[in-house]
Structure 1
Amino acid sequence: MSITAPGPATTQSTTLREARIPEGGLYEGTRVLRPLPEGWEERPYEHIEVRPQTRVIGAEIRGADLTRPLAPAVREELNRALLEWKVLFFRGAHLTPEQQAGFARHWGELEVNPLLARGTSEEIVRFEKGAGGRPTYENVWHTDVTFRERPAMGAVLQLREVPPIGGHTMWADMAAAYDNLPAEVRERIDGATAVHDFIPGFARFTSREKLIELQDEFPPVEHPVVRTHPESGRKMLFVNTSFTTHIVGMERAESDRLLAELVRQAHVPEFQVRHAWQPGDIAFWDNRATQHYALFDYAPHRRVAERVAIVGDRPF
């Protein structure tokens, strides 16, 4: 008869081991997802059909003829949809450059940008890339021309030629980005201002001579870190990787850490919409309320787009 010696007694731990999340990491959990500001009156659309693409950002619009001047009631409903959904998509519009510019003019004066390639007129910017192209304006989250004293109110982009795969564009809702910041971060940045400069965003693909030529035309400007939308009244993050250089009044290291945390908000999938282009599609976005990201994943294929931008107001 054999006897088995008893094994070592097991004991249950009574304390929880430390498990530290790296500083600055994104935390899982429920997101605050509200497309509209508090108190916003929701009304039905009578002249257009609005098909939301996500909970907070992006809507496909049907029933609007963009080739002709907009009736006031249609323009009002499109503007309301823009405020609610931040970016509107019109499938297969196939506008001429003149029609595209005419549509954008319903929202104001068109912007001229000497930093970008010109299309058929000075207000039309052309993005054309074929085989052998290199990343320029793609692969980075940004808000257009925040280095201006009056950044663009919005932009109307049309794809003239679409690659067989890839070439999508994404937009992020910066009101949702603000809403989901920790309370202590919101308190820290409310009332803060940041400096914006065109040079960091353009230096990687623009000659030094061109940058020197334009730097007096575009001096650094200060904008609120949190801007208030002039129509909806919502608070939104207004810093971006391409043009925001530092937060005023902070040491550089502290500013860099805080800006890194803020710009990461655009990376949260629940705040985003992604559009797979078809030839002739139009996207009209509210540049005051969004960031966008054009994917350069289509080489060696060709992609051609044209854009017009609408002059905006001074952020507050």
Structure 2
Amino acid sequence: MNGILVDDEKLDRIQSKVLDMRLYHGQPATFEGVTLTPYSATVGARVTGLRIDARAEPGAALRRFLYDGILRHGFLSFAPGTVALEDFERLVALFGTPKLMNTPYTPETGKDGQLNAIDSSIKKTRMNYIWHMDQVFQPKPPPFTALFAQAAPQVGGDTLFANATAAYDLLDPLFAAYLETLSAVHDVEAQGFLTLAYHDLAQRAAQREKHPPIEVPLVRTHPETGRKQIFANELYTQRVLGVTRRTSQALLDILFDALGAPEVQTRHRWEDGAALIWDNRTVQHRGVADFGQGRRVLHRALVV
């Protein structure tokens, strides 16, 4: 700089950090005719060659292959034709037990009553367009979330995903070590979720009592992979504890900037009949409201 030559080691040190892609950029993997192909360099994989219905239940080894795949890639996108809507809960069951968690704007669907519909024609709240992890205002949020596209818009309506582990890896190590000493408050009402979703005051009060604010680590470790990740999101993280309000916001802005880096994100394009399951402990997500008057109908299962 200023005409002074620097060696490669110093050049690397004085510039912003880049990801070690050896930890992310995998090759396609195939097992028993089922192939996982990376969706992007840091998050997601496409699944082809799989069929789920009453006559086709994967064995234990194939289930392990898929489970290891979601831990490695963060989400698995299943091609249309993998599963029909009436069999979607069979696919969900490969990763755990579906559990209904809905609001008045996301009514119950599904033959076993453990799915809810996210239908743009009736859903007037827009919280799904803010970066978040599902239900992290609870002490034990679901480890996985699954979606099935009953109807996808002709244009738009994609879902963005960000790898919170890769975002952590972009942080300076000394700064990351400081963040690991801090806690934050997660609150379902941080952006007014209950106020907008529950117009009945008694229902709203019951939900508020059921979901008080909780204290969480600002950085947490994935229980299965052992890798660290940013555990702050724009929808539910209210503030960082132990610092001033302005410092709290500055720290959150830095973390949200890391989560917004193109290197850690991908954009999933929906097709009718496509399904997707993600590791809610690894990735954050948000919908994109760019489909105008088009209709977008997704069926959701939270997996415990």
Short-chain TM bin: 0.7 to 0.9
Shift of 1:169: 0.7
Aligned match of 2:6: none
- SS of alignment partner, residue 185 of structure 1: helix
* 1:24-55 C-alpha deviation (Å, 9 max, x unpaired): xxx98562143748xxx999542221111211
Q: Quick one: which of 136, 140, 144 aligns to 1:150?
A: 140
Shifted more, 64-73 versus 172-181: the winner is: 64-73
Q: Quick one: which of 160, 172, 185 aligns to 2:175?
A: 185
Do the aligned residues in 2 keep the contact of 1:35 with 1:57 (CA within 8 Å)?
no
* Distance of 2:119 and 2:158 partners within structure 1: 15
Do the aligned residues in 2 keep the contact of 1:196 with 1:220 (CA within 8 Å)?
yes
Shift of 1:93: 3.2
CA distance 1:112–1:155, shift in 2 (3 Å):
same
CA distance 1:30–1:251, shift in 2 (3 Å):
closer
Aligned match of 1:31: 18
Runs of 4+, deviation exceeding 6 Å: none
Q: Quick one: which of 202, 205, 209 aligns to 2:196?
A: 205
Do the aligned residues in 2 keep the contact of 1:93 with 1:282 (CA within 8 Å)?
no
Q: Quick one: which of 115, 126, 129 aligns to 1:139?
A: 129
* Distance of 1:305 and 1:122 partners within structure 2: 15
* Distance of 1:198 and 1:84 partners within structure 2: 29
CA distance 1:194–1:100, shift in 2 (3 Å):
same
Q: Quick one: which of 286, 289, 293 aligns to 1:293?
A: 286
Aligned match of 1:53: 39
- How many residues get paired? 283
Aligned match of 1:80: 68
CA distance 1:107–1:53, shift in 2 (3 Å):
closer
* Distance of 1:310 and 1:33 partners within structure 2: 31
CA distance 1:29–1:53, shift in 2 (3 Å):
farther
> Normalising by structure 2, what TM-score?
0.85
* Distance of 2:253 and 2:204 partners within structure 1: 25
CA distance 1:93–1:198, shift in 2 (3 Å):
farther
Flag the structure with higher helix content: 2
Q: Quick one: which of 80, 84, 95 aligns to 2:83?
A: 95
Shift of 1:65: 1.8
Shift of 1:263: 1.8
> Normalising by structure 1, what TM-score?
0.82
CA distance 1:98–1:148, shift in 2 (3 Å):
farther
Matched, 1:110 2:98: yes
* Distance of 1:43 and 1:133 partners within structure 2: 37
* Distance of 1:28 and 1:153 partners within structure 2: 35
Shift of 1:303: 0.8
Quote the RMSD (CA, aligned, Å): 2.6
Do the aligned residues in 2 keep the contact of 1:33 with 1:55 (CA within 8 Å)?
no
- SS of alignment partner, residue 155 of structure 1: strand
CA distance 1:64–1:178, shift in 2 (3 Å):
same
* Distance of 2:132 and 2:22 partners within structure 1: 20
CA distance 1:75–1:35, shift in 2 (3 Å):
farther
